[in-house]
Structures are given as C-alpha cells and as structure tokens.
Amino acid sequence: MYLSMNQAFRKTFGKKGYKIALSAGMTCPNRDGTLGTRGCIFCSGAGEFAQKGASVTAQIEEGAKQIEKKNKDGLYIAYFQDFTNTYAPLPRLRELFYEAIRHPRVAVLSIATRPDCLPPEVLTLLEELNRIKPVWVELGLQTVHESTAEFIRRGYPLSVYDNAVEELHRRGITVITHLILGLPGETPEMVYQTISHVGSRTDGVKFHLLHVVKGTDLEPLYRQGLISAMSFPAYARLLGECINRLPPHVVIHRLTGDGDKRTLLAPLWSGDKKHVLNSLSRFFAQENVRQGKLYLDK
C-alpha cells in the first residue's frame, strides 16, 4: 500500500533498522529568545523519548539493550531527536555526531533540526559525515501555508525549507520532512497542496497527528473550544488521501506521532498506537489506499 521505512531500510541494508532516540542537550531558536521563547504552539518543551544527560555512547548502549530483547541482529539508526540538533557550535556538533556514527552497529545517522539552522559550515560537516555512513536530515516543516505557519509560530518562510532541501540534496544527503495533519484552519485541499509541494522535493515524510498536550499554548485554545482534535475516521481518511498523492519513491517513515499519555489531552484515541496502526492498515485495505495512485494519474 505504501513504501515504509522498514521496507526501504531492508532493501538497502538487508536487515531491520531500529531507531535509538538520542538527546544532544540542545535548545531551539524558537525558545532561547532568538526567534521566541514559547516554542511552536504545539510544543511542550519537554522533548520526547530521548534520554537526558547521558553521553551519546551510553544512550546508544542503553537503547541497544532494549532492542536486543527483540532482535540481536538488527542495525541502529542513531536519531538525534529532541529540539534542534544542529543548533550548537560546530566543534560540539562534530563531537556528538562522530561519536554516534562511529558506533559499529549504527548504520545511519539521523538528525532532526530546523531548515533555518543549517549554515554552510554545518552543511559541510554533514557532507563529511555522509561519506562515512548515510546521513538523514529531518526537517520540521509541518505545512506549506504561511498563514498556518504564522499561527503555529514556526518562525521561517517556506523558501527557507526549499533552499535547505536543495542544499542538502546537492551534498547527497537524504531529507525527511515532518508534516502535521489536523492543524487549525487547514482544509483537506490545503493539506493536499502541502503534499504536492513536499512530494516533489523530499526523500521521506513523517506524518504526525496534531496532539493537544498539557503545558502547550494549544491547551487553553482547546479548553476554550477554539480548536478541536481530529477523530480517528477523519485522520484515517485524510492520511489515506495524502498517501495516494505521494510519489511512489518517497519513503513513509511514520503514519502518526507518539504522544505522552501522561500529558495528552486530545485526541485520546491516539494513545493506543498499536490499535491505531492496526486500524489504519484495515482502513487502507478497505479504501484501496495505494501510494502514488493519484500522483500517477496526474
């Protein structure tokens, strides 16, 4: 039905790949006062699943212990996950990324960042690392619509994303684009416009469902009834239509995001990820969702 990360990884490396979420202890220009102090409107500021404080090697080894309970023969994707992972002095980035990429079981270095945090010297470092092992750069775009970007306080225009993708591709680096479905005020047609723009540029996508999380600036808007959360049927249908419109070569790394159940306000159905993924699979089969179906019909 679609080209998953697992399929693409096995085709390239011959084994299953497991992401190990890493924390580099960085912040974000949208939080340190450079662009703002509150972050994006949906961001709690807590990071997600990466460990805090431990060395990169220690984090990889701890993650490996959990993975090896299931599979002792898999390969690792060292994933610098929380906040903006190119937002530090170059010597610090070099130290962190080289420590990760030199681990013998790490097959890929994946770095989540903002497209406005990729200065020339960082791009040169990423190109250097990419000669050793594949480097993936994950860019938080969320939407191509400037009105929505302003509402969520993204902090940069679409042209910055486009330029970053071009510069990364010029250096042979894989780009994965993060998109959020269910952003306030966005119609399905607006989402399809995002898919059309991104699909012609990116190598992979991660789909996220908009979560309302305690401690974010979305929380009061939700409690006041000014925004609503998507139902599962609405999300499944919109996601299926997005997959239909994606070019067949774009790797789908994620169908929905993970929310911390302790702080999740809405939608509560998203808290059971296994059930959600199984339900999405059934829906895609029933509705004949097939990646590229509508893209190829253009």
CATH number, position 269: 3.80.30.30
Q: How far is CA 172 from the centre of its chain?
A: 19
Nearest CA among 201, 289, 230, 235 for reference residue 4: 289
In a domain, 27, yes or no: yes
In a domain, 298, yes or no: no
pLDDT at residue number 298: 47
CA dihedral 226, 229, 234, 237 (to 10 degrees): 110
Nearest CA among 117, 124, 112 for reference residue 171: 124
Q: Residue 133 and residue 141: Cα distance in Å, rounded?
A: 25
In a domain, 74, yes or no: yes
Q: What is the pTM of this model?
A: 0.94
Residue 215 domain boundaries: 5-293
Task: Check pLDDT > 90 for residue 279.
Answer: yes
Mean pLDDT computed over 165-187: 97
In a domain, 148, yes or no: yes
Mean pLDDT computed over 274-280: 95
Mean pLDDT computed over 16-40: 91
Higher pLDDT, 29 or 298: 29
β-pairing, 212-213 with 264-266?
A: antiparallel
Number of domains in the chain: 1
Q: pLDDT tens-digit profile of 113-172?
A: 999 999 999 999 999 999 999 999 999 999 999 999 999 999 999 999 999 999 999 999
